[in-house]
Amino acid sequence: MSALNAVRRDERGFTLTELLITVAILGLVMAAVLGVQLTTQTMFSRGENQAEAQQSARVAMLMEEDLRMVGYGCPDQGCPTPPPGGAQRAIPAASTTSITFWADTLNASTTLSAAVAAGAVTLPVVDASGIAANDRIYLTNGDTWETRVVTAKTGNDRLIVAALTNAYPQGVQVGRPRQIVYTYDPGTGTLTKDAGDGNGPQTLATGFASLTYSFYDANDTLITPANPIGNPQTVRRILIQTTTRSALASGGGASTFQINTNVRPRNL
């Protein structure tokens, strides 16, 4: 009889106390797992937001590269605006939210590989691979310069243009600048760039909380008479101040990123 009772005792289920203890332990384990998951998700969202904000801010670095080239490819006083006549300015217009400038940011400019006489229609050049028919070019030799539209190319070492007015020695720059416009829209937080290639303004980045251009003259004095500034030809330094903000992702707050960039164009 005692043996039968022993078997029955071994077949008993969990007591209520044991079940409560088990459920409590399981609850603690699940709470810990959920806590780790939520923390990981929050950290991931914050990292993603920060990366998004920083990516938009990097556009300021791209602008810096372009702005350093202001005036490259133009005559010393800048390209005429509008071409082929008009005032010579490397920076025709500037404001706190936009800047218009002439530059060969693609390094398409070249030099004459041989001297040319007045009246010449063929320009021997070192490398015309970055220049195409219908492009406007500028030949510059100190204070002597003129502009022509390329009517045809012969390989990558000959440009065909209308007859030149002046003679030019070997080594003279044959510039191919374009008018470039960076514009910030505070209403949409969008930065656009018109590369002067006929495609119009293209969106570079969104998510800007603010973007401001400040301009300084040769004495490093802030130019503040008006907005837009009335004398952009005196600009020698450009300060770009940007604040970017990521989209608000679930599980993490929007991140902001600030960057200030100073640019001194090489050709001004």
Among 3-12, 33-42, 195-204, name the one with the lowest average pLDDT.
3-12
pLDDT band at 27 (very low <50, low <70, confident <90, very high): confident
Residue 226 has pLDDT above 80, yes or no: no
The pLDDT score that the predictor gives to residue 250 is 45
- Phi, psi torsion values for 111, nearest 5 degrees: -135, 160
Among 21-25, 47-51, 223-227, 251-255, name the one with the lowest average pLDDT.
47-51
**Alpha-carbon separation of residue 139 from 31, 109, 152, 161 (angstroms):** 75, 10, 17, 12
Helix axes 16-57, 59-67, angle to 10 degrees: 10
| Mean pLDDT across 35-50 | 57
Residue 88 has pLDDT above 50, yes or no: yes
The pLDDT score that the predictor gives to residue 179 is 96
Cis before residue 82, ω within 30 degrees of 0? Answer: yes
Strand-pairing partners, residue 241, are 212, 260
Q: Give the model confidence (pLDDT) of 97-126 as tens digits.
A: 999 999 999 999 999 999 999 999 999 999
3-state secondary structure the chain: CHHHHHHHHHCCCCCHHHHHHHHHHHHHHHHHHHHHHHHHHHHHHHHHHHHHHHHHHCHHHHHHHHHCCCCCCCCCCCEEECCCCCEEECCCEECCCEEEEEECCCCCCEEECCCECCCCCEEEECCCCCCCCCCEEEEEECCEEEEEECCEEECCCEEECCCCCCCECCCCEEECCEEEEEEEECCCCEEEEECCCCCCCEEEECCEEEEEEEEECCCCCECCCCCCCCCHHHCCEEEEEEEEECCCCCCCCCCEEEEEEEECCCCC
| Mean pLDDT across 177-205 | 94
Residue 160 has pLDDT above 90, yes or no: yes
- Rounded percentage of the chain residues whose pLDDT exceeds 90: 61
Looking at per-residue pLDDT, the higher value among 7 and 57 belongs to: 57
Q: How many CB atoms lie within 10 A of CB 263?
A: 19
Report residue 80 CA to chain centroid gap.
25
| Mean pLDDT across 184-209 | 91
Residue 248 has pLDDT above 60, yes or no: no
Among 34-38, 146-150, 210-214, name the one with the lowest average pLDDT.
34-38
Residue 252 has pLDDT above 70, yes or no: no
Whether 183 contacts 205, CB under 8 Å: no
Residue whose C-alpha is closest to residue 102's, from 267, 222, 216, 237: 267
Domain boundaries, the chain: 22-74+91-102+179-268, 110-176
Residue 105 half-sphere exposure toward CB, CA atoms < 13 A: 20
